[in-house]
Structure 1
Amino acid sequence: MGAPADDTSTDLLFNQSLEKGLAVLRAFSAKRRTMTLAEVAEATSITKSSAQRMIYTLEKLGYVRKHPLTRRYQLTPRVMQIGFNYLAADTLIDVANPFLSELTNLTGETTNLTEPDDDEMVYVARFVSTKFVPIHMPIGSRIPMFCTGSGRAYLSALPPDEASARLQLMELRTFTPRTLTSLEAIEAQLADARRNGYATNREELFIGDMTIAAPVLGSQGRPVAAVHVVAPTSRWSFEEAQQRLAPAVIDCARGISNSIRTLE
């Protein structure tokens, strides 16, 4: 998912071995928790000999390990150090946390901060309410921009032509019977978000899950993240969520935006 990678075949500074090593790490997932050497090669589209070198090096560095009985490879907790270093170094998260905490206290619902990466939004901060939440989205989870409140909030804060151009490159696939997949319908959602100051998702990614989201803007007025609050359909009607949650979400995003501008 995302834009095609730049052509690096003639880039003398580009390290293809590093690219392959990172591809091996990214190949492991919930669907591929463990892999054989042949499966690693297939998942990363590299030769078996290259896969063997990558796996050997990553194993020596402590990022993967081989099960002594199954002989299948899996990631180790050391991989989390890379992601944690990003979270620890991201000033936006430090700034946002008090605002998210207050938003959770005010609404009684789970609140989140997501940042863009290609065609997806990545969870980087989260305050969970004491109430039941139908979908668990831990830090690092990724969701598509086009059909989520936070993604639409981010897109709505871009210049309309830029947002439209990005949408046209995305894979607009169906997740639930409610998922909007036509460009016209999604752009209508973005237009509403621009007018209202917030975006919505009404069970388009997960059944039972609604979100109200607003963009976080940097010093240049461009979006850098989005705040969203979860409104389970078991507790909220769509209209009630808009009326009662949207003002608080907008205020939260505005507070974070004003705070980070003083730091940039």
Structure 2
Amino acid sequence: MDISPADDGAQSGSDLLFNQSLEKGLNVLRAFSAKRRTMTLAEVAEAASMSKSSAQRMVYTLEKLGYIRKHPLTRRYQLTPRVMQIGFNYLAADTLIDVANPFLSELTNNTGETTNLTEPDDDEMVYVSRFVSTKFVPIHMPIGSRIPMYCTGSGRAYLSALPVDEALTRLERMNRVAFTANTMTDLATLGERLAEARQQGYATNREELFIGDMSIAAPVIGSQGRPVAAVHVVAPTSRWTFEDARQKLAPAVIDCARGITNSIRTLE
């Protein structure tokens, strides 16, 4: 979320340890995206919600550190591969990924489909591990991709493992938009889906985020009894009916999530 200069001052005024410069630098890095691959200095300032002078200082510093570079001809700024070092360090340090990978590999071998591990961040799930099958997958979701919780199997699996009131409160505050004609956005309906997932031990997505894409997901539970991640298998509509996916894939997904859960609890 971008922070306006007014908000920035209010936050720093109430927290003397808060470093505004660091926040602004991170806002500049987050401003680049698939829609903003390159930007002028003015565009950086607008995208990061800061003054042009602040943007100039941030961009200059990040350029000197090697995280941003300026194209010699267009004079537009873009990220460099060095930015990936930060994300890779997280993946390398995340014990959960190391524990989950053998289980995900086995799940892919058993189902013949692509399997994924996602972790929560605010109201989204982030892909942190992925084992791709040799079969066609309609949607490419590389590591680091983010998907909404409310309309995805992994998100609903995670929410279903939270206390009921907490899950509903989180759902209520989410910006629930319809990505396809199948996307469920009604709070009562989503509450019913979470209740169903709690009872069955797995959650589903039926072309709610992408057409042609279905998923079966189960939560991974940490030592404190709270969900820490979710496992899901991709079930393309070109190969699976919804009912076949539920009957044939759900037991394997549940077993995979349970295996990861039991393994990480011994390490925590």
TM-score relative to the length of structure 2: 0.96
Task: Classify 1:130/1:196 alpha carbon distance in 2 versus 1 (closer, same or farther; 3 Å).
Answer: same
AA aligned opposite 2:261 = S
Count of residue pairs brought into register by the alignment: 263
Alpha-carbon shift at residue 172 of structure 1 (Å):
0.3
2:36 counterpart of 1:37: no
2:253 counterpart of 1:244: no
2:105 counterpart of 1:101: yes
2:170 counterpart of 1:169: no
2:19 counterpart of 1:15: yes
C-alpha distance in 2, partners of 1:64/1:139?
Answer: 21
Alpha-carbon shift at residue 7 of structure 1 (Å):
3.6
What is aligned with 2:261? Answer: 257
AA aligned opposite 2:221 = L
Structure 2: which 5+ residue stretches go unaligned? none
After superposition, the CA RMSD in angstroms is 1.4
Which of residues 216, 219, 232 is equivalent to 2:220?
Answer: 216
C-alpha distance in 1, partners of 2:194/2:12?
Answer: 34
Which of residues 138, 143, 146 is equivalent to 1:139?
Answer: 143
Alpha-carbon shift at residue 14 of structure 1 (Å):
0.2
**SS across alignment from 1:225:** strand
C-alpha distance in 1, partners of 2:11/2:221?
Answer: 31
Alpha-carbon shift at residue 101 of structure 1 (Å):
0.0
**SS across alignment from 2:116:** strand
What is aligned with 1:128? Answer: 132
C-alpha distance in 1, partners of 2:247/2:14?
Answer: 54
AA aligned opposite 2:240 = W
Alpha-carbon shift at residue 168 of structure 1 (Å):
0.9
2:55 counterpart of 1:51: yes
C-alpha distance in 1, partners of 2:218/2:11?
Answer: 35
Alignment of 1:78-97 (within 5 A): 78-97=82-101
Alignment of 1:228-243 (within 5 A): 228-243=232-247
Any idea what the Cα deviations from partners look like across 1:64-99, whole Å, max 9, x if unmatched?
000000000000000000000000000000000000
Alpha-carbon shift at residue 8 of structure 1 (Å):
3.8
Alpha-carbon shift at residue 9 of structure 1 (Å):
3.0
2:190 counterpart of 1:186: yes
What is aligned with 1:68? Answer: 72
Alpha-carbon shift at residue 106 of structure 1 (Å):
0.2
C-alpha distance in 2, partners of 1:192/1:147?
Answer: 15
AA aligned opposite 1:235 = R
Alpha-carbon shift at residue 220 of structure 1 (Å):
1.2
TM-score relative to the length of structure 1: 0.98
> Equivalent pairs: percent with the same residue?
83
**SS across alignment from 1:231:** strand
Alpha-carbon shift at residue 221 of structure 1 (Å):
1.1
Alpha-carbon shift at residue 114 of structure 1 (Å):
0.1
